[in-house]
Amino acid sequence: MALNFGRSLFPERPQNLFNYDYIDILTGQGYITFYIVRAETDNVEVNLLTPIQVICRENDKSISVSDSSPDGTKTEIFNTDYDYKVRVASNLAIGTGYIEVNQRHGGSGTGKFHFVQVKLRKFDGSTETEIANGETRISSGSGGTDTRRELATLDITSQVHFNPGDILRATVILSVTANNASGSVSTGYHVEPFSRNKLKVQIASADGETSFSGEPTSFKVILPFKLNL
């Protein structure tokens, strides 16, 4: 008598469990793009590092800085932590990470320069460990107001293991320097993953709230993770 087990003895399996491209296989790592996000809930500022392009109300962190620092002095304007809580065990790979920031430039004066620095860290609930550090070029803030896309690299020299519950932290520092300066500079960085056509930006100056149109708004931290091939 013929036995008929149907499909229960050897169940069908999906054709593709994982999908790697040639670069993934060649390097043994895959890149994940994280987004810097700033939101506000019940008048409390929420700063997130997330791999998902969420839409948030806040668009940027920006400020107008007057000529108050002596030449050669670096002044930190913003120092903000953006956190991602790791859900599964993973390993940040040795390699190069990338920072892609849309930075606000502008001002009425001369001799003011500004740049963005990112410190990549691991926080396990008690100890914060620095992994890599990168910064954009130092740019002049005079000559009108616009947004410029700046790129910097993160040199990751050792593999870093993350357990579930650990925090991957990107500390973003916005700084201004002076060189025979006068007047003021408007500076900042965008924190909204989608580049919407009509944007509203809060500027800490007498101008108050000003609308800008068509500016790119994403801030990306692109990191290599080890693949278990």
pLDDT confidence bin for 135, thresholds 50/70/90 = confident
Query: Which one has a higher pLDDT value, 120 or 141?
Result: 120
Whether pLDDT at 139 is above 80: no
How high is the pLDDT of residue 75? 77
Q: Is 23 helix (H, G, I), strand (E, B) or coil?
A: helix
Whether residue 87 is predicted with pLDDT greater than 50 in this model: the reply is yes
Each residue of 17-53: pLDDT tens digit? 567 777 777 777 889 999 988 776 677 777 889 998 8
Higher pLDDT, residue 88 or 72: 88
- The pLDDT of residue 208 is above 50: no
Query: In this predicted model, what pLDDT tens digit does every residue of 69-84 receive, in sequence order?
Result: 556 667 788 888 999 9
Percent of the chain with pLDDT over 90: 28
Is the pLDDT score of 103 beyond 80?
A: no
* Residue 165: CB atoms within 10 Å: 10
Write the DSSP assignment of 133-185 as a string of letters: EEEPPPEE--SS-EEEEEEEEEEE-S-EEE-TT-EEEEEEEEEEEEEEEESEE
pLDDT of residue 114: 74
Average pLDDT over residues 128-147: 77
pTM as predicted: 0.76
Q: What percent of the chain is predicted at pLDDT more than 70? A: 61
Torsion of CA 91, 128, 35, 186, to 10 degrees: -150
Determine the pLDDT at residue 52: 86
Number of Cβ within 10 Å of residue 152's Cβ equals: 18
pLDDT value of position 81: 93
| DSSP tally for the chain: helices H, then strands E | 1, 16
Q: How confident is the model at residue 8 (pLDDT cuts 50, 70, 90)?
A: low
| All domains in the chain, ordered by first residue | 29-226 (2.60.120)
Q: What angle do CA 130, 132, 135 make, to 5 degrees?
A: 120
- With CA atoms as reference, report the closest residue to 119 among 160, 158, 170, 45: 170
SS3 29: strand
Q: What is the mean pLDDT of the chain?
A: 75
pLDDT tens figures, 175-202: 877 665 566 667 778 787 775 544 444 3
Torsion, CA 202, CA 205, CA 206, CA 211, rounded to 10: -30
